[in-house]
Structure formats: C-alpha cells, structure tokens
Amino acid sequence: MTEAQLIAFIAKLDTAIENILLTGQSYEIGTGSSKRVFTAASLNDLQALRDKKQMQLDNLQTGASVVGF
C-alpha cells in the first residue's frame, strides 16, 4: 500500500472503532420471533489491524523495513 492508501485506510479504521465505541459491538431489535441481532466487527480485531497498519505507515515514512510484515 502507498502512504496515501495507508493513511486513508487508518482513517476508516478509526471511524469504525469510534462507531463501535459509541454504539457497542452488537444490538438487538424487536422481540420474540421478529428479534434481529446485529453484530459489528470485533473491536479487538479492528484495534489490532489499526496498530499493524500504523506500524506499516511509520516504517514507510521512516524508510525502515520490518521482516515478517
């Protein structure tokens, strides 16, 4: 990914994380047989992916390379 792509992707991850923090990871609508459950992405998974992409961006911006990523 380019630097611009990483920055844009990290911004999307930040938005997703903020939305989950505001609304929760899951919610229910209705009752009984008409009950619907919505489950968002895992907050832990999103935060881990954000950390990974931030590390890639940091390495790209400093010119460092990390083996295994």
Task: Report pLDDT for 17.
Answer: 96
Mean pLDDT along residues 59-69:
75
For residues 57 and 27, what is the distance between their CA atoms, to the nearest angstrom? 34
For residues 58 and 60, what is the distance between their CA atoms, to the nearest angstrom? 5
- Cβ distance 28 to 35 under 8 Å? yes
Mean pLDDT along residues 5-11:
98
For residues 44 and 15, what is the distance between their CA atoms, to the nearest angstrom? 14
Task: Report pLDDT for 51.
Answer: 98
Mean pLDDT along residues 25-53:
92
Mean pLDDT along residues 10-27:
93
> DSSP for 6-30?
HHHHHHHHHHHHHHHHHH-SEEEES
Task: Report pLDDT for 61.
Answer: 93
